[in-house]
Amino acid sequence: MSPNPKPPTAAELRARCSRGGVAIAPSLLAADFARLEQEIRAIEKAGATLLHLDIMDGHFVPNLSFGVPVVEAIRRTTDLLLDVHLMLDNPANYVEPFRKAGADVLTVHAEVLDDPRPVLDQIRALGAAAGLSLNPPLAVERIEPFLEACDLILVMSVMPGFGGQSFQPVALEKLAWLRDHSDCHAVLEVDGGVNAQTIGPCAAAGAEWLVAGTAVFGADDYGPRLADLSQSAQASVAGAQASG
Ligand SMILES: O=C(CO)[C@@H](O)[C@H](O)COP(=O)(O)O
């Protein structure tokens, strides 16, 4: 990897990963960690275009997941876009190691940054796309001053830390607000409780990348599950566009 490649724009992220306006982002947290390489091969074969990787510090969220060496090993295993979600109190300390490990998108949390612009700029300077995330309790207006510094915005529809939680509909209002905001050109992503029932409303509200852990890795066959989720999301986008 060259030291400072140009970071991908939101349009380039869409061109690389979205199909029919959407992409399913399988969350590796729900994979079988004892069979990680086989799980990644299976998800590639199923047609995924990206992988969502949750990095937890046990402080910002009450759980631990995996760190830089595991991301580096995943990078050696796949060419899929690596969408790395930093659930960390001090993301500025970690963006460089995760970028060096192969992250393509690095997302930090608005809750831990009074002004996220320096770290978003740092991510872009490292050649990755810059993402900003907000948890369900944070008002979306809080990130309004930073919209133009973001290549991706990750709207959490659960409190982060664990897979398998129920979708919180407050995410839908935030997605629609972001979709309709003239300063927002970022890819809109939603994460938590996304499944066959909730994916349609998310896509209709503007979510383009839909993170799904349990709904993907809980399936017997990932190919049909990814296709079904993607089809539901695309149908909702088409329906929302047709109704104006
Ligand atoms: O960030 C997180 C959890 O903190 C998510 O990425 C989950 O991994 C999604 O899991 P499901 O809700 O789809 O099971």
Query: What's the one-letter identity of residue 128?
Result: A
Atom of ligand 1 nearest to the CA of 167: 12
User: Based on the number of CB atoms within 10 Å of its own CB, is 234 exposed (0-12), middle (13-18) or buried (19 or more)?
Assistant: middle
Residues 56, 63 contacting (CB under 8 angstroms): yes
Give the sign of the dihedral formed by CA 102, CA 58, CA 32, CA 131.
Answer: negative
- Residue 47's Cβ-side half-sphere holds a number of Cα atoms within 13 Å equal to 17
Q: Of all protein residues, whose CA lies closest to atom 7 belonging to ligand 1?
A: 163
Report d(CA 74, CA 31) in Å as an integer.
13
Q: Would you say 223 is a known binding-site residue?
A: no
Say how many Å lie between the CA of residue 122 and the centre of ligand 1.
26
What mean pLDDT do residues 148-177 have? Answer: 98
Which residue from 56, 85, 158 has its CB within 8 A of the most atoms of ligand 1, so it is best to mutate?
Answer: 158
Atom of ligand 1 nearest to the CA of 194: 13
Each residue of 36-76: pLDDT tens digit? 999 999 999 999 999 999 999 999 999 999 999 999 999 99
Each residue of 99-157: pLDDT tens digit? 999 999 999 999 999 999 999 999 999 999 999 999 999 999 999 999 999 999 999 99
Q: What tokens does 186 get?
A: 């970022």
Give catalytic residues, as residue numbers: 54, 191
Give the sign of the dihedral formed by CA 125, CA 128, CA 129, CA 134.
Answer: negative
Domain ranges of the chain: 10-242
Around ligand 1, the residues with Cβ closer than 6 Å are 27, 29-30, 52, 54, 158, 160-165, 191-194, 211-215
Report d(CA 198, CA 24) in Å as an integer.
13
State residue 243's pLDDT score.
87
Report d(CA 143, CA 114) in Å as an integer.
10
ipTM reported for the complex, 2 dp: 0.98
Class for the domain spanning 10-242: alpha beta
Q: Would you say 85 is a known binding-site residue?
A: yes
